[in-house]
């Protein structure tokens, strides 16, 4: 008991851990704060749970703290510093010298005339000394110079390009102000880490400008100890390759890299200067959230890879509500109500074992591809790779992968490619593409009826795929379509009928053989074609027959009318209409047109998923019609629902090991104890998908009609 309680406590502890705990072996996790964040108790609590580094969003900036000569606003900055002191949190100082929110008074004298740079330096030095000294005990690093490099290098014809931002600072001092600011900060606190901080620091041109400047400064002895990459990203970029390359390059110069201002906005701008998307919070389409989650996943993977040089990652603001980008940009891990978004758990609950893994490059076309189509591909480990030609698209997502979607990335030729983050389960998967929010099929593959429409399909070769292989050494039966009129529906219906290879043969001196029939139902969203196409029911039957594992029987696969059932209304589903169609219309049609044995002990009904629900409802109501019952990922029977055990010769229940195998085991035990002929089967390593049901048919078929 105590053991159990300890385990539960540990689990709860593991679940309750914040970002800072999840990343304790990697880097500190910071947040930039406004006044509310450090005064509203619930927000303070959130900060203390999740973060172990803090940056003041505005109140330590030169123009805020020192708006005119001799005037100091310490109060708000002190509040942030005291919050950190009180809670033992490290404070990143932001910032000492910047063209924006700066002490513009430093550039002019009392009469408004420009001052000489010596006067400016004197004022800057006093400012830096005063601020650094005041917070020395709690600030461990400073963004000394912010955003000094140009977004685009500018050159007049015949002149050398200027890599610097053409700010008032630059106009007065050239790049010397950078060196001076670092020197002053170092004088004031020789122990503090001193950062050059900028946005778009992963963009290759700007990256090189930053690199060259820092290198030049270091060679001149300027005490720059770190580079801050702001990280004002968007959901489409930068690419992990660009971030990775920038970190790698910077780490050849400095031993400390901080991601100082991370957010991942929904609109397409990027960087530290932008048009704000102000306005109320609008709901985010799910495909947009998925792209954001994917971007967060990608960039944190890169950050973790570089944990040797990255020692802090700071989010720019606490929640979407606080974001300087406006709440409708939804750029952070906490939503406008301070609740963690899905992106939060993706960032927090990473699995280090998977970080360094890459798929084996032995991809081959999926066996379900249309003739001549290379993509989608699968590799020997079960990874899937999809490629789409959509040069003008803004986003392409494939509905494969463990989070329900894999985001593709576009190359320079307009070709989008994406590989699932991990191997997929073996077997068949339905999928589709979402191109700019529009759901479409992949032109590379054949289509299969699922989700109430024809969807793309991909097959991850299963290790045991031989049992549904199309063999050349054995006789094959036929799957044919029959068309029949349904008086209850007032229209024609179609069903697929599997006939074994020996069907219709005259046995010498005897009549034609008559066969038992299995009525086999598909799941919700599927139709009469699903079992034979993606389920390979016919091939499974052929192979079992050829291997002597079953006696021949007919399989009838009808449309179970399931697609008219709304998903939320499954609880109210009675299968009454389908019962009429099946028992009063289709079965008489089959018995009249095929060589069947028209009696209960030669008739079975089984179904997968929603077809299992139909099977259960109909077999229990029409015990006179079916002698063998099978539920494949389709629920269970309870002894008290059935009554007399002699009215059924087999109850087969199955599911995938990734579904709810305990439920099957429990039900089978109870049924057996109550005297019912029950058999259970769990398909190893599969979920609510067709490999589970192919295997279930293989296991169930030999038990029928014995």
- Residues annotated as part of the active site: 147, 261, 609
Least gap, CB of 272 to ligand XIL (angstroms): 4
Which residue's CB is nearer to ligand XIL, number 55 or number 619? 55
**Binding characters for ligand XIL, 172-201, by CB under 6 A (x = yes):** ---------------------------x--
Give yes or no for residue 163 binding ligand XIL (CB under 6 A).
no
Least gap, CB of 197 to ligand XIL (angstroms): 6
Least gap, CB of 279 to ligand XIL (angstroms): 17
Residues 533-552 that bind ligand XIL (CB under 6 A): none
Q: Is 422 exposed, middle or buried (0-12, 13-18, 19+ CB in 10 A)?
A: middle
Give yes or no for residue 314 binding ligand XIL (CB under 6 A).
no
Please give the structure tokens belonging to residue 320. Answer: 């979407």
Which residue's CB is nearer to ligand XIL, number 261 or number 455? 261
Nearest-angstrom CA–CA distance, 554 and 519: 9
Least gap, CB of 252 to ligand XIL (angstroms): 24
Give yes or no for residue 57 binding ligand XIL (CB under 6 A).
yes
Least gap, CB of 347 to ligand XIL (angstroms): 21
| β strands within 236-315, DSSP E | 256-265, 310-315
Q: Is 369 exposed, middle or buried (0-12, 13-18, 19+ CB in 10 A)?
A: buried
Pick the closest to residue 80 from 92, 63, 66, 70 (CA basis). 92
Q: Contact at 8 Å (CB) between 228 and 30? A: no
Which residue's CB is nearer to ligand XIL, number 262 or number 691? 262
Rule CB under 6 A: choose which of 52, 58, 486, 562 binds ligand XIL.
58
Q: What angle do CA 196, 197, 198 make, to 5 degrees?
A: 130
Give yes or no for residue 263 binding ligand XIL (CB under 6 A).
no
Phi, psi angles (nearest 5°) of residue 675:
90, 15
Pick the closest to residue 232 from 325, 294, 129 (CA basis). 325
- The secondary element (H helix, E strand) that includes residue 608 is strand 603-608
- What b-and-e string marks burial along 652-674, b requiring 16 or more CB atoms within 10 Å of the CB? bbbbbebbbbeebeebbebbeee
Which residue's CB is nearer to ligand XIL, number 148 or number 243? 148
Q: Is 85 exposed, middle or buried (0-12, 13-18, 19+ CB in 10 A)?
A: middle
Least gap, CB of 189 to ligand XIL (angstroms): 20
Pick the closest to residue 495 from 621, 629, 587, 625 (CA basis). 587
User: Taking the CA atoms of the chain, what radius of gyration do you get in angstroms?
Assistant: 34
Q: Is 411 exposed, middle or buried (0-12, 13-18, 19+ CB in 10 A)?
A: exposed
Which residue's CB is nearer to ligand XIL, number 183 or number 261? 261
Q: Which residues pair with 90 in a beta bridge?
A: 53
Which residue's CB is nearer to ligand XIL, number 185 or number 520? 185
| β strands within 330-477, DSSP E | 364-365, 377-378, 384-389, 396-398, 406-407, 409-410, 415-419, 427-431, 433-435, 438-440, 447-450, 453-460
Which residue's CB is nearer to ligand XIL, number 231 or number 680? 231
Please give the structure tokens belonging to residue 348. Answer: 């927090």
**Binding characters for ligand XIL, 583-602, by CB under 6 A (x = yes):** --------------------
Look-up of token digits 């912010």 = 146
Least gap, CB of 228 to ligand XIL (angstroms): 8
Pick the closest to residue 609 from 640, 565, 674 (CA basis). 565
Least gap, CB of 230 to ligand XIL (angstroms): 6
Nearest-angstrom CA–CA distance, 410 and 391: 8
Rule CB under 6 A: choose which of 324, 431, 503, 628 binds ligand XIL.
324
Nearest-angstrom CA–CA distance, 401 and 380: 16
Look-up of token digits 């670092």 = 182
Give yes or no for residue 230 binding ligand XIL (CB under 6 A).
yes
| β strands within 235-366, DSSP E | 256-265, 310-315, 364-365
Which residue's CB is nearer to ligand XIL, number 228 or number 450? 228
Q: Contact at 8 Å (CB) between 206 and 151? A: yes
Rule CB under 6 A: choose which of 30, 93, 163, 272 binds ligand XIL.
272
Least gap, CB of 293 to ligand XIL (angstroms): 23
Least gap, CB of 261 to ligand XIL (angstroms): 6
Which residue's CB is nearer to ligand XIL, number 57 or number 421? 57
Total interface residues for ligand XIL by CB under 6 A = 8
Phi, psi angles (nearest 5°) of residue 63:
-65, -25
Nearest-angstrom CA–CA distance, 177 and 182: 9
Give yes or no for residue 369 binding ligand XIL (CB under 6 A).
no
Residue nearest to ligand XIL (CB): 324
Which residue's CB is nearer to ligand XIL, number 250 or number 324? 324
Which residue's CB is nearer to ligand XIL, number 258 or number 536? 258
Number of residues assigned to the chain: 706
**Binding characters for ligand XIL, 12-51, by CB under 6 A (x = yes):** ----------------------------------------
Residues 199-228 that bind ligand XIL (CB under 6 A): 199
Pick the closest to residue 135 from 45, 74, 177 (CA basis). 74
Which residue's CB is nearer to ligand XIL, number 87 or number 100? 100
Give yes or no for residue 146 binding ligand XIL (CB under 6 A).
yes
Least gap, CB of 101 to ligand XIL (angstroms): 6
Give yes or no for residue 261 binding ligand XIL (CB under 6 A).
yes
Least gap, CB of 136 to ligand XIL (angstroms): 21
640 contact partners, CB below 8 Å, separation of at least 6 = none
Nearest-angstrom CA–CA distance, 74 and 589: 89
User: In the chain, what is the straight-line distance between the N-terminal and C-terminal CA atoms, in Å?
Assistant: 48
Contact set with ligand XIL (CB under 6 A):
57-58, 146, 199, 230, 261, 272, 324
């Amino acid at each position: 008991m105590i053991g159990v309680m300890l385990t539960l406590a540990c689990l709860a502890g593991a679940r309750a851990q914040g970002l800072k705990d999840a990343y304790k072996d990697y880097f500190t996790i910071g947040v930039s704060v406004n006044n509310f964040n450090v005064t509203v108790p619930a927000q303070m609590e959130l900060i203390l749970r999740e973060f172990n580094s803090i940056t003041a969003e505005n109140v330590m900036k030169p123009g805020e703290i020192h708006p005119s000569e001799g005037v100091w606003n310490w109060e708000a900055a002190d509040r942030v510093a005291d919050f950190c002191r009180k809670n033992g949190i490290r404070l990143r100082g932001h910032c000492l010298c910047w063209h924006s929110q700066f002490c513009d008074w430093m550039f002019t004298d009392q009469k408004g005339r420009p001052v000489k740079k010596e006067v400016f330096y004197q004022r800057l030095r006093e400012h830096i000394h005063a601020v650094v000294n005041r917070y020395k005990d709690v600030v461990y690093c400073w963004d000394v110079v912010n955003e000094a490099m140009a977004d685009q290098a500018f050159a007049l014809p015949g002149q050398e390009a200027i890599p610097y931002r053409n700010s008032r600072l630059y106009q007065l001092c050239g790049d010397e102000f950078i060196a001076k600011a670092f020197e002053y900060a170092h004088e004031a606190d020789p122990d503090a880490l001193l950062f050059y901080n900028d946005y778009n620091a992963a963009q290759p041109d700007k990256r090189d400008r930053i690199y060259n400047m820092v290198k030049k400064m270091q060679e001149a002895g300027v005490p720059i100890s770190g580079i801050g990459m702001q990280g004002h990203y968007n959901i489409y970029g930068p690419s992990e390759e660009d971030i990775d390359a920038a970190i790698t390059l910077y780490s050849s110069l400095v031993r400390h890299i901080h991601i100082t201002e991370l957010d991942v906005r929904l609109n397409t701008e990027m960087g530290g200067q932008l048009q704000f998307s102000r306005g109320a919070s609008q709901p985010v389409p799910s495909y947009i959230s998925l792209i954001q989650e994917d971007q967060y996943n990608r960039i944190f993977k890169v950050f973790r890879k570089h944990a040797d040089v990255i020692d802090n990652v700071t989010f720019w603001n606490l929640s979407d509500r606080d974001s300087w980008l406006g709440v409708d940009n939804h750029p952070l891990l906490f939503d406008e109500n301070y609740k963690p978004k899905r992106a939060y758990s993706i960032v927090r609950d990473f699995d280090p074992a998977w970080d360094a893994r890459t798929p084996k490059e032995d991809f081959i076309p999926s066996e379900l591809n249309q003739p001549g189509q290379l993509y989608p591909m699968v590799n020997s480990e079960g990874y899937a790779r999809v490629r789409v030609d959509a040069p003008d698209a803004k986003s392409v997502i494939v509905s494969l992968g463990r989070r329900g979607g894999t985001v593709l990335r576009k190359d320079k030729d307009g070709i989008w490619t994406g590989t699932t983050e991990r191997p997929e389960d073996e077997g068949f998967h339905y999928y589709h593409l979402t191109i700019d929010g529009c759901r479409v099929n992949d032109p590379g593959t054949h289509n299969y009826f699922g989700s109430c429409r024809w969807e793309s399909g991909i097959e991850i070769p299963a290790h045991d795929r031989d049992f549904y292989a199309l063999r050349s050494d054995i006789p094959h039966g036929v799957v044919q379509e029959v068309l029949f009129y349904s008086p209850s529906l007032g229209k024609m219906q179609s069903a697929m009928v599997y006939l074994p290879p020996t069907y219709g043969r005259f046995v010498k001196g005897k009549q034609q053989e008559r066969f038992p029939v299995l009525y086999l139902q598909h799941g919700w969203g599927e139709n009469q074609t699903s079992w034979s196409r993606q389920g390979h029911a016919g091939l499974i039957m052929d192979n079992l027959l050829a291997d002597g594992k079953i006696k021949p029987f007919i399989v009838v696969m009808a449309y179970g009318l399931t697609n008219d059932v709304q998903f939320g209304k499954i609880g109210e589903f009675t299968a009454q209409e389908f019962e009429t169609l099946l028992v009063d219309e289709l079965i008489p049609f089959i018995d009249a047109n095929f060589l069947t044995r028209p009696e209960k002990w030669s008739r079975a009904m089984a179904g997968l998923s929603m077809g299992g629900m139909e099977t259960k409802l109909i077999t229990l109501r029409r015990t006179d019609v079916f002698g063998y019952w099978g539920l494949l990922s389709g629920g269970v029977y309870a002894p008290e629902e059935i009554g007399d055990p002699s009215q059924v010769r087999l109850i087969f229940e199955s599911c995938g090991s990734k579904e709810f195998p305990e439920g099957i085991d429990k039900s089978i035990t109870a049924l057996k104890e109550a005297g019912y002929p029950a058999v259970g089967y769990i398909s190893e390593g599969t979920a609510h998908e067709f490999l589970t049901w192919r295997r279930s048919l293989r296991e169930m078929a030999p038990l029928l009609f014995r």
